[in-house]
Amino acid sequence: MEKKKFINFKMIKELTPYIKKERWLFLSGLTMMLITSTLRLIDPLIIGHIVDKVVPDNDIGKLYQFAGLFVTVIVLSGLLTYYQVILLSKMGIKIVTRLKMQMFDKFLHLPVGYFDHNPVGELIARVESDCENVRQLFSDLSVTIFGNLLFFLGMLIVMFLRHFNVTLLLLIPISIIIISLFLLVSYLGKFYRKIRELNSQITGIITEYIQGISIIQLFNQQKRVISILDDKSKIKRNTDARATFTEYSFWGLFGFLIETVFIVILIYLLAPQILLGLVTLGTLIVFIQYTQRIFWPLIMVSENINQIQRAFASIYRIFNILNLSSEYDVDKGNEKHKYQPIRFDNLIEFRNVSFQYKEDELILNNINFCIKKGEKVALVGASGSGKTTTISLLCRFYNILSGGIYVDGIHINDFDLKEWRKKIGLVLQDVYLFPGDIRENIRIYDDTIVDEKIFEALEYVGASEMITRLKNGIATEIMERGQNLSVGEKQLLSFARAIVFDPEIIILDEATASVDVLTEKKIQKAMDKILEQKTAIIIAHRLSSVIHSDKIIFFHNGNIIAAGTHNQLLNESNEYKKLVNLQFLSHKEAG
């Protein structure tokens, strides 16, 4: 995938507005780079001049002049290099921060379906690693590449000016070395990719074995897993050894060429001319110094080629994401801003609703049911039968394939998406807590919700006692994944969150998490309370909690096979009876 063809003008065009915004940083950085690359050429020339001019004339005054010049050049080029790196890096960081912000914003507004197909780790990598790769383009990379190429060209020019013929001859071995250098880099690239791959395999193997340690011990398979790890590690060591030996042999040859072959060629070509007085000793010194330095810029560039490729592959991915349309865009585009006002006085109807995540895999098949205002409706059925999908469609997380959901006769797609979701209070099975304190977790960063309202909500769900126990009250920071709260406490917070926004409809994916009896009772009480005044849809995993619902809808493989009250269903549906049997012992056996 990550080929060079990704370096194209389209991507540069996409980046241009970002660079334009920082054009002063960009231009001044570039100018400084030009100057510093030139200054780096000077010091061998000064040595040459000292040898040619100062020594024969025995002129100490001139020596001080050259020394002064040398110091000036060093200080000047040092300062300029410093500011050039700082300015370009600053630009890179600025651009990347903007990119990250935009990507985060984009992700927040993408449809939920996007998150089903892309694991969280991938998404983080998109924001973090891809943006950081781009940043390289503006700091280290651009400096090394442009700076070093300029330096290389500069050296060639000075050498041509000093001695045209010798330089022309030297061009032959120089170009051979350049070509083999680039061949080597791409050859080694393959090795290093393989080593990285092996490394991650080894990490994977070890992780798995440690996670499954009790299985390995109980099945007496220690020897087997050691030998698997041993094999993989050996392959890695051998690959590693081959790569490094190839690389160092090349560097050895390379060193031989510049330290020995080039100098011998130089002596052979220049010595006769020096003896004839056609060329100065200083020129020889300049040539020796330059030939020893001329390849380092190229090595630096060649080492960075992979990074450039990576950066452009990242740019490609970043703009692919930024160019996706958000769910509000889709919504607005379809409805042309003609939203119906939301009124929910009577009925929510599912009419012939079908839905599939993947082509030809119907998850919901022609679903029909209705919910009256104020009713409590329970969805039951095995996992995978379509309960969660049903409530996701009601929240408009996905687009319905055919049929529709109507609220007092109006299709929910005719409502403004945001306004519609504000009518719903969602409580998920896995309680989701955000980084931040309890206050922010309940009001989800909505400043318009004042503390009093938060306390009210906590009191309502019976969580105020737990808050008073905390030293910082609602300002208590929640640790990663809510480690400082019990399962029950987390559940209560998610109830408080659902009612603080005062929704008309509550959707509850009932928790099956292991909680102790006491907490379970507390949660049940809170649940009953928050459902009191609302229309509620409950996904039930345990029948015991929903048998008193106004209506139970029994899902099976994407169909509704029965609907009614608990007693109705017990009489009418064999499948329901079976489900009851599965969860409880039958009457007779219980004795």
Report whether 32 contacts 84 (CB < 8 A): yes
CA neighbor of 143 nearest in space, from 19, 369, 358, 297 = 297
The crossing angle, in degrees rounded to 10, of helices 295-303 and 140-162 is: 160
Largest Cα–Cα distance in the chain?
121
71 contributes a contact to another protein by CB under 8 A = yes
Buried/exposed code over 558-577 (b: 16+ C-beta within 10 A; e: otherwise): bbbbbbbebeebeeebeebe
The crossing angle, in degrees rounded to 10, of helices 42-49 and 60-108 is: 170
Provide the 8-state DSSP code for 430: S
Indicate which single residue of 2, 59, 528, 572 sits in contact with another protein (rule: CB under 8 A).
Answer: 59
479 contributes a contact to another protein by CB under 8 A = no
Compare residues 6 and 385 and give the one whose CB is closer to another protein.
Answer: 385
Range in contact with another protein (rule: CB under 8 A) among 85-93, 358-366, 531-539, 552-560? 85-93
Q: What minimum distance in Å lies between the beta carbon of 253 and another protein?
A: 7
Indicate which single residue of 137, 185, 284, 474 sits in contact with another protein (rule: CB under 8 A).
Answer: 284
Alpha carbon 406 to its chain centroid, in Å, reads 38
538 contributes a contact to another protein by CB under 8 A = no
Q: Which amino acid is at 496?
A: A
Compare residues 424 and 531 and give the one whose CB is closer to another protein.
Answer: 424
SS3 504: coil
Q: Which amino acid is at 200?
A: S
The strand pairing partners of 354, in sequence order, are: 402
d(CA 377, CA 59): 103
Q: What minimum distance in Å lies between the beta carbon of 9 and another protein?
A: 29
The strand pairing partners of 537, in sequence order, are: 377, 507
Range in contact with another protein (rule: CB under 8 A) among 20-28, 186-194, 303-311, 417-425? 417-425
497 contributes a contact to another protein by CB under 8 A = yes
Total residues in contact with another protein, by rule CB under 8 A: 142
Compare residues 169 and 241 and give the one whose CB is closer to another protein.
Answer: 241
Residue tagged 């509550």 (tokens): 506
Range in contact with another protein (rule: CB under 8 A) among 2-10, 97-105, 164-172, 400-408? 97-105
Helices (H), 257-351: 262-275, 281-293, 295-303, 305-322, 327-335
Q: What minimum distance in Å lies between the beta carbon of 184 and another protein?
A: 14
Indicate which single residue of 8, 31, 175, 260 sits in contact with another protein (rule: CB under 8 A).
Answer: 260
Provide the 8-state DSSP code for 584: S
Do strands 535-539 and 551-556 pair parallel, antiparallel, or not at all (unpaired)?
unpaired
Compare residues 7 and 47 and give the one whose CB is closer to another protein.
Answer: 47
275 contributes a contact to another protein by CB under 8 A = yes
What mask, x for binding another protein by CB under 8 A, covers residues 178 to 207?
A: ---------------------x--xxxxxx
Indicate which single residue of 2, 16, 31, 74 sits in contact with another protein (rule: CB under 8 A).
Answer: 74
What residues numbered 116-135 form the site for another protein, per CB under 8 A?
A: 120, 123-124, 127-128
450 contributes a contact to another protein by CB under 8 A = no
What residues numbered 1-40 form the site for another protein, per CB under 8 A?
A: none
Q: What minimum distance in Å lies between the beta carbon of 478 and another protein?
A: 10
Compare residues 255 and 409 and give the one whose CB is closer to another protein.
Answer: 255
d(CA 554, CA 559): 8
261 contributes a contact to another protein by CB under 8 A = yes
